[in-house]
Amino acid sequence: MPASARDARFRLSPDLALTLAEQFGTPLYVLSESHLRGRIREYRAAFRAVAPGSRLVFASKANSTLAVLKIAHQEGCLIDVASEGELRAALLAGIPASDCHLHGNYKTMPELAFAFAAGVGEIVVDSFAEIEMLSELARSEAPPSAMVAKAIGLPAEEPVRCPDLVIRVAPGVDPATHQKISTGQDDTKFGFNLADGSAERALLRCLELGLPVVGFHCHVGSQLLDPEAQRAGGEAIAQLAADMLRRHGFETKVLNVGGGLGVRYTDADDPMAVEDYCRLVVEAMRAPLEGTGLDPVLMQEPGRSLVAEAGVTLYRVGVVKTVPTGEGRTRTYASVDGGLSDNPRPALYGSRYTVLRAARVDQSDEGEAGAAKFTVAGRHCETDKLFVDVDLPADLAEGDLLQVLCTGAYNSSMASNYNRFLRPATVLVREDGSLAPVQRRETYDELFAREILPAL
């Protein structure tokens, strides 16, 4: 199938863009409920077709908006959380803690205690120090503190239970992706190294302490357009499962190969069909298990690949100006009313996006200009080049609306208040076409609520 035929990225019609801008202002995050639900169903069906009984876990770091978490859970996903804050978000969305998995390379004792008291379904173990903290909590006969109990709605006398544990493995796989989102190589802060025996020692220590360890986990990186790294990671943890059965009689019940399938940020990106991706990854995981008698539940942990293409960001164009760049050349800047505080990824990773004019300020002009190169810049006190040398209509003017495709992941969740800008609202386009605000625009009162000005 040609890449263009698989391009199902959500985008706004001119009428809808104008309506959204008028009702909710800009910059604005917009999510399509039907796109998000459809993508989750597609991914779950593809995974279950090759691995019956498998589970999909939504990586909430991609977008932890409560509405997104609730939709993902309604569509059958477990929820991966990487902090107490993300766990609290899932609980506020009405998701049982038992359907949540807690991640993190540095979990504090209070954070682990909160997860125990809440009753999370699984903790992904990341260090030997964490194993000792888990053992201490598991041995404790004390009920959760009154503060924790109140926060999660449990009686203060309720005893705690150690959740199931899976050991995160660094399988020594270096994927073809940006180095800042590559996590499966030997030199990583995440998990237990496979090559030096740390993963095996972590399992033995858990067993020695009587902790309820059930399997292994790995995550080699994000935005993977080639499945080979993910296949290698899955094969590595499956081989570890086979080796641990042979050496120590440990029966692996869960293997989680993490997430990573890439999305279509630009027309040049050509992510693999999810059906092919799931088939190839599962085949790699099953090969080492043949003849062992092991039949673990297989899990994947996608985030970006579920929600990214369901979202757009809507901006209004402000200043448009052309400047000389030397040797007779020029650059035309179109500054918009957002920037790196609502999308830091271009500054962090050099990320590129598809940028389209969503609506014209002058609706009376029916003509359509040819294309010209623009650099879309933010309004922050930095260089803040959001999107460099993108093709837009040559008559782009102040007041026009731009939509940036594929911003459903890592935009809202990474937004900041740099330069004291307010974080944008998020609006959900419901399946029936109605508009539901799911995050209101931040106010200046909220922005300064944390400030304490002492007598000076």
Query: Where is 138: in which H helix or E strand?
Result: helix 128-139
**Token pair of 385 as six digits:** 């080049």
For residues 408 and 307, what is the distance between their CA atoms, to the nearest angstrom? 5
SS3 string of 296-330?
A: CEEEECCCHHHHHHHEEEEEEEEEEEEEEEECCEE
Neighbouring C-beta atoms of residue 253, cutoff 10 Å: 15
391 three-class SS: strand
**For 314, what's the count of Cα atoms within 13 Å in the CB-facing half-sphere?**
30
Do 345 and 411 form a contact (C-beta atoms < 8 A)? yes
Active site residue 206: no
Neighbouring C-beta atoms of residue 231, cutoff 10 Å: 21
SS3 string of 313-382?
A: EEEEEEEEEEEEEECCEEEEEEEECCCCCCCCHHHHHCCCCCEEEEECCCCCCCCCCCEEEEEEECCCCC
Peptide bond into 27 cis (omega under 30): yes
Dihedral of CA atoms 415, 417, 419, 422 in degrees, nearest 10, equals: 100
For residues 331 and 379, what is the distance between their CA atoms, to the nearest angstrom? 17
Query: Residue holding tokens 């194993």?
Result: 131
**Burial (Cβ within 10 Å: 0-12, 13-18, ≥19) of residue 195:** exposed
DSSP string for residues in 165-198: EEEEEE-----SS-GGGB--SSS-SSSEETTTTH
Q: Which of 100, 162, 381, 406 is catalytic?
A: 381
Phi-psi region of 227 (alpha: psi -120 to 50; beta: other; left: phi over 0): alpha
Any residues with CB less than 8 A from the CB of 396 and at least 6 apart, and which?
Answer: 317, 320, 334, 357, 372, 374
What single-letter amino acid sits at 423?
A: R
**What amino acid positions are annotated as catalytic residues?**
381
